[in-house]
Homo-oligomer: A and B are copies of this chain.
Amino acid sequence: MKTITINECAEHLLKADNILILMHKSPDGDAIGCAYALAHALRKAGKRAMPVCTDDIPKKYSYITDTLEVQDFEPEYIVSVDLADTQLFGDKLIQYKDKVNLCIDHHGSNTGFAEYGFIDAGAGACAQIIKKVINAMKVDIDKNIANAIFTGIVTDTGCFKYSNATVESYNIAAEMLEHGAEGFFINRLMFDTKSRQRLEMEKLALESMKFYNNGQIAVIFITRDMIEKSGAEDGDTEGIAGMPRQVEGVKIGITFREKEKGTFKISMRSSGDIDVSALCQKLGGGGHKAAAGCSMTGDIDEIEKTVVEIAGTAL
């Protein structure tokens, strides 16, 4: 991958048309915010552009997705946003894995699968980079773009609570409010509203919590049984991986989430002082310093033992 500047990203995009914008599977607020903000901006620049994702976009983001009419076209240019690895393309997008023209991302672990790329691991949210690309494209930021960028920033920084929230995160969020972003509505929806299923899920997750290494490691489990019992959908479990790390004294929080019977997605969280990305790399995964993950298959007790042991080496 050839690294280019923000201005060059804008130039490349302004030369292209019929642009497909790839999101990672299990899309979160930053992926969705980036893709829809960029799509709106490209359309304002006269292009055809459409965000695509292997998975359905969770309904709670409809205030973003409903603002963009579906466009159907033969893609001529492919850009990925907030996407670190072709492993995250999912089955519907994997056909594009060798065809990505431009990659805009904030994951230091980005595998460089695209022809050109701009990666800024210092950006709290990829949406902060997309905002600069839109500025460089000289497209005015309207309310739809502002809502999408604002959503990316607040969801990826945990409403400014995570260590990745920088002065720039606050400043761009404020700028988006000035462009019409509905900050109160978005923050309330993302951080102060829970479905009954989510609540049930949290209760079960709390009941499953265990502590290791003198309370410095906390683990929770989200099994298929728990998901069924709570009636939770995929969107209802978002952010639950942050729960164990919230407990006073916990340095590493670990969530074991059963994707299919016997296959677990493991999420690790720290306060940024411990590099959980390095720990997850030992288990075949990766991510950010304070938030990383990996996948493992087998007996859950064995998996738990292995993961806690690896985590313990960092204390």
Contacts and interface: CB of A to CB of B under 8 A. Distances in A.
Contacts of A215: 196
Nearest to A207: B203
A193 B246 contact: yes
Copy tally for this chain in the complex stands at 2
A161 B160 CA distance: 11
Interface string A186-223: 01100111111001001100110100000100000000
Contacts of A206: 199, 202-203, 206
A247 B170 contact: no
A58 to B, nearest CB: 13
Nearest to A194: B246
Interface residues of A, number: 40
B162 A159 contact: no
A247 B201 CA distance: 13
A308 interface: no
Interface stretch (A43-51, A81-89, A171-179): A171-179
A112 interface: no
A174 to B, nearest CB: 4
A193 B160 CA distance: 14
A248 interface: yes
Interface of A: 154, 158-163, 165-167, 170-171, 173-174, 177-178, 183-184, 187-188, 191-196, 199, 202-203, 206-207, 209, 215, 242, 246-249, 271-272
